[in-house]
Amino acid sequence: MNDYSLDPDNWDEFQNEAHKLVDFIVAYLKNVRERKVWQEIPNDIKNEFRKKVPMEPMELEKLISIAEKKIAPYPQGNIHPRFFGWVNGTGTPVGILAEMLAAAMNVNAGGREHISNYVERQVLSWIKTLFDYPTESSGLITSGCSESNLIGITVARNHFADSIGINLRETGMCGIPKITIYGSTQIHSSIIKAVELIGIGKKQLRMIAVDREFKIKLTDLENKINEDINNGYNPFCVVANVGSVNTGAIDDLIGIRRICDKYNLWMHVDGAFGSLIKLSEYKDLVNGIELADSIAFDFHKWMFVQYDAGGVLIKDNQAHLNTFSLRPDYLESESRGLAAGGRWFSEYGIQLSRGFRALKIWMSIKNYGIKRFGNIIAQNIKQAKYLGKLIEKEDHLRLMAPVITNIVCFKYIDNSKQLDEDLVNREIMIKMHERGKVVTSSTRLNGEFCLRVAITNHRTHMDDMLVVINEVKEVGEKIININTP
């Protein structure tokens, strides 16, 4: 009698199927521009995913065929050259191969002595160099900028407690005095979530007004800090936007650093996508990013690496370790053998078991070179600026915020004024999704609904901006014509 295993009975057959799937994948990417960006999932396809749990095996050939026909055709669409919704990266061809190799190795990158640690340390050291960050700083590859923000703000909080002689890991939040954290009204939801999760509470997150470029007003920030101090609060951290989610705005980093120094506060940068501008000819836009105590960023947005992959850098390595390191008996390290490896990455974050995310980042950077990423980031910014110019020339369109980086907020204007503007623009967005030519998302600026184009896409051409304009106008006119008596 044979032992059970999950390996194939016939490796040649497996290899044959694997090759066929790779051929499918290559064609899938090569022809992406010819397909719709997004399409609705038909009901008979949805039914496939309501079937009962299989107790018996399915042939690999049949299984792959189902995946190709019923899964692959219905993606979110962010690999398409005209996907501009939210802030989503495109992925890279070499990243696909890296994911396959990482899956084959199936290492646990939480710690121990094996190659993934070297790859991750190298990726982090490259990023430190690119951000002009000190080599002694610590870092971690994360699931994304949400986790990175959570880690940065947690270290900031614990570091503050430490500075007043309180071990927050022992006492918990009930052991420390009232603390407050600051950011603009434009901060990302992941900051709010982090503040809620670590027991600070949203009320203690002071959201400061912005100027017409959507940058935090420094005088308002400083006034609020003083007011809080006078009311017995302990300000501990300012979160700076480097590429705000709504409009791509970048706060005055040098100004924020000055205030942080004056009041002894931690400066955390949320640079999910904007921090990568540092790689491009527009790098002056993010001057001062190196002054932050911690930087959160993503590889899966503007470095196009496959989901998911983010990163965080913390200047004070010891503060980082003090917050997260925990090595119980069953995780003791040795000086030689597999249990060696110095500091484990699990000592710098939440996950113990971790995937080998570093490989797809490492292979992407090696394959393309940093200059290429810089050129594409600059290209996306130029596309956004061009789109902004096109919008300004159109009677029926209005630009809603200055185009600082890669985000364009605008809306369709019905000059007859008979229909509700928010409703018309919402319908334009949904209709465009259904037509599948262009995907945008939406946001609200000063309470007004607007269409939002965010370009973090290495497949986009300059001409695609004309398609955006034409599509919005065409769909807008149709909606107006149908709905006006």
Query: Which chain residues interact with ligand PLP by CB under 6 A?
Result: 87, 144-146, 188, 190, 243, 245, 270, 272-273, 298, 310
Cβ proximity to ligand PLP: between 88 and 280 the closer is 88
User: Please, what is the minimum distance in Å from the beta carbon of residue 310 to ligand PLP?
Assistant: 5
Cβ proximity to ligand PLP: between 278 and 437 the closer is 278
Q: Are 207 and 187 in contact (CB under 8 A)?
A: yes
CA gap 403, 139 in Å, rounded: 31
Cβ proximity to ligand PLP: between 243 and 476 the closer is 243
User: Please, what is the minimum distance in Å from the beta carbon of residue 144 to ligand PLP?
Assistant: 3
Q: In the complex, which residue's CB is closest to ligand PLP?
A: 144
For every residue of 10-25, DSSP letters joined together read -HHHHHHHHHHHHHHH
Q: What's 67's DSSP letter?
A: I
Between the alpha carbon of residue 397 and those of residues 171, 432, 434, 470, the distances in Å are: 55, 16, 21, 11
User: Please, what is the minimum distance in Å from the beta carbon of residue 163 to ligand PLP?
Assistant: 27
Cβ proximity to ligand PLP: between 188 and 268 the closer is 188
CA gap 284, 280 in Å, rounded: 9
User: Please, what is the minimum distance in Å from the beta carbon of residue 280 to ligand PLP?
Assistant: 17
Which tokens go with 412? Answer: 């369709």
| 189-200: burial string, b at 16+ Cβ within 10 Å, e else | ebbeebbeebeb
Cβ proximity to ligand PLP: between 152 and 235 the closer is 152
Cβ proximity to ligand PLP: between 240 and 479 the closer is 240
User: Please, what is the minimum distance in Å from the beta carbon of residue 259 to ligand PLP?
Assistant: 21
> How buried is 258 (Cβ within 10 angstroms: 0-12 exposed, 13-18 middle, 19+ buried)?
middle
User: Please, what is the minimum distance in Å from the beta carbon of residue 214 to ligand PLP?
Assistant: 12
Cβ proximity to ligand PLP: between 79 and 469 the closer is 79
- Please count the other Cβ atoms lying within 10 Å of the Cβ belonging to residue 164: 11
User: Please, what is the minimum distance in Å from the beta carbon of residue 309 to ligand PLP?
Assistant: 9
Cβ proximity to ligand PLP: between 383 and 405 the closer is 405
CA gap 101, 267 in Å, rounded: 38
Alpha-carbon 186 to chain mean position: 16
* Long-range interactions of 339-345: CB distance < 8 A, separation 24+: 339/112, 339/113, 340/112, 340/113, 341/111, 341/112, 341/113, 341/114, 341/117, 344/110, 344/111, 344/112, 345/109, 345/110, 345/111, 345/117, 345/120, 345/140, 345/141
User: Please, what is the minimum distance in Å from the beta carbon of residue 431 to ligand PLP?
Assistant: 26
